[in-house]
Amino acid sequence: MIYNQFYKSHNSNYLMFKEQIISILAKETRLRKEELNNLIEIPPNPELGDYSFPCFILSKREKKAPNIIAEHFAKQIKPTKNIEKITSAGPYLNFFINKKALAENILKINSNFGKSNIGKKHKIVIDFSAPNIGKPMHIGHIRSTILGDSLMRIYDFLNYNPIGINYLGDTGLHIGKLIIAYELWLDKKAIKKSPVEELLRLYVKFCEHEKSEVSEGADADEEFTNNEWTNKAKEKLKLLELGDKKTHEIWQEIHEASGKGFDKVYSLLNVNFTETTGQSKFSVKGKEIVMNALKKAIAKREEDGAVYVQIDKNNPELKKYILRSNQTASYITQDLGAAVERNKKYKFDKMIYVTDFRQEGHFSALFNILKTLGYDFSDKLFHLGFGTVKFGNEIIASRTGKIILLEDVLNKTIEKAKQEITKRKTKGNPEKVGVGAIKYIILKNEPIKDVQFSWEQALSFEGNTGPYLQYSYARASSIIKKAKNKNFNKGKLNISKYNLAKEEIALIKKISDFPEIVIQAGDKMNPSLLANYSHELAQVFNEFYHNCPVINADNKEQEAFRLKLVDAFRTTLKNALHLLGIEVMDEM
């Protein structure tokens, strides 16, 4: 993050305090603001202060021990209205901020809390979800879908202009396989009744004949060189690319049938795209680029006609094929075409591809080739690779046993949420609880880490889970509903004489952190920061709730203040969960 850009575009409260500390320190230490921003820490114990600056870094320049430097500054720097005390503790210089001033800011929070203009409408293209037609969406695609959707929401909140592209795997060897299976074994009744299952049955049957693994990814299909069935599939693919009418009609039917299945999932997850497109649209453009690469001698041709690029100059064996020997486009051919077309269409400032980490090699080759070809935008491309979703012992029976069906996972989770809600005799909405639970268990893990999926854990109302957060929100809502004072939100509250309890201060500070966490999550393409922040926020709220009576407060003034605080908590949690794509309920 660029320090200046960040603070200039930011009008939020808590940051104001940190910014003031940075300004003071910049003057006193002559360090750059950006550097100070990274050096300042939050002490482990609030009694030590709200922010602290470790003085080690100055020791060499000043030729003094860090303790001495800290002591000197503690005397030298005068308190201000917002920073009421400055002390030293060993090598640390500690700052105490004025909690009342902070509390006053919290009372002004509205539904826009956390938004900022850091994005200035810069365009970020996010390529996510991207399931393969003819194959059912699997759990890897759900991770991409949920992660990409959360990034869309975060960038939108920060006033970027996010563009979500669903790049369907609508061609490739698996389509050749499916078309053959369709011609040979289609059950017409079955495809009407349950299209996704019938297509899967056809695909699995083909793989049995070919003696290949049933694969999930786009370029994961094994390409046997001397296999009668693989060869047939390759021929079909060629017919399709040449525009053969009958082949194209079957392709269309497969496209429609699986599209229905995808749409069901997207509507359940409440995920939208700016644009839905497919690999097949970029074969021609991709081949054009390949020809250009040949002309410029960046790519070379094998005797059999296949075209490749040498990725590593020192390792001539390392070849990345960008065109098949029968001159059909492959996964990377189309990605070359798609990237160039997208740059032309959107002139993006950044493009993020969200896929399984195993595609790392594919994307680094892609970016590399684009750079070698002289496309400047190649520096704006990022691959956000994510880890595996592991199911432990709770394998879901699907007919192949190998592919875990996304729709099954979703439906089963919603069913289990329903049982839990009935057992607890609460009023939650099973769909919101179930979908929220799945999104949360996925997003709370850093993208690159594996997810250990377990229903028991995902749906628990305690711990770091989606339902726990939704429940905390509902609890706060019920306090507000029960309050006799319905006008707490009107008029100005004077808190100058109010004594803040330690749980109140902790909650105020936590709420105040939110805007910075949103920015970090966007910066690092990491929604788990927001998920874990939400959990901490709810924990601090529950501490407050158990120690600071709201409805039975000591007096009217205290009640009004606490109600406002509860309301600010609600707004913050709602916004944080919104960025994860999780909906809240007033009752649960």
Q: Which of 394, 393, 332 shows the shortest CA–CA distance to 367?
A: 332
Output 135 or 535, the one with its CB closest to ligand ARG. Answer: 135
CB of 136 to ligand ARG, least distance (A): 12
Output 355 or 571, the one with its CB closest to ligand ARG. Answer: 355
CB of 279 to ligand ARG, least distance (A): 7
CB of 353 to ligand ARG, least distance (A): 5
Tokens 């105020």 belong to: 508
Output 3 or 382, the one with its CB closest to ligand ARG. Answer: 382
Q: How many CA atoms lie within 13 A of 358 on its CB side?
A: 8
Strands 319-323, 51-54: pairing is unpaired
- Contacts of 359-366 spanning 24+ positions with Cβ under 8 A: 359/217, 359/219, 359/383, 359/385, 360/385, 362/219, 362/331, 362/332, 362/335, 365/309, 365/311, 365/320, 365/332, 366/332, 366/335, 366/336, 366/339
The rounded distance, in Å, linking the Cα atoms of 150 and 130 is 15
Output 50 or 170, the one with its CB closest to ligand ARG. Answer: 170
Please say whether the beta carbons of 520 and 456 come within 8 A. no
Q: Residues in the site for ligand ARG, rule: CB under 6 A?
A: 127, 130, 132, 167, 169, 217-218, 335, 353, 355
CB of 452 to ligand ARG, least distance (A): 22
The DSSP call for residue 5 is H
The rounded distance, in Å, linking the Cα atoms of 413 and 433 is 9
| Cross-strand partners of 95 | 51, 86
The rounded distance, in Å, linking the Cα atoms of 376 and 347 is 11
CB of 362 to ligand ARG, least distance (A): 7
Output 355 or 378, the one with its CB closest to ligand ARG. Answer: 355
CB of 140 to ligand ARG, least distance (A): 7
Coil, strand or helix: which one is 144?
Answer: helix
Give the list of residues 6+ apart from residue 555 with CB closer than 8 angstroms, or none: none
Output 333 or 534, the one with its CB closest to ligand ARG. Answer: 333
Output 355 or 477, the one with its CB closest to ligand ARG. Answer: 355
CB of 213 to ligand ARG, least distance (A): 15
Q: How many CB atoms lie within 10 A of CB 115?
A: 16
Output 133 or 576, the one with its CB closest to ligand ARG. Answer: 133
CB of 265 to ligand ARG, least distance (A): 14
CB of 325 to ligand ARG, least distance (A): 22
The rounded distance, in Å, linking the Cα atoms of 46 and 507 is 12
Please say whether the beta carbons of 168 and 130 come within 8 A. yes
The rounded distance, in Å, linking the Cα atoms of 390 and 56 is 44
Output 212 or 355, the one with its CB closest to ligand ARG. Answer: 355
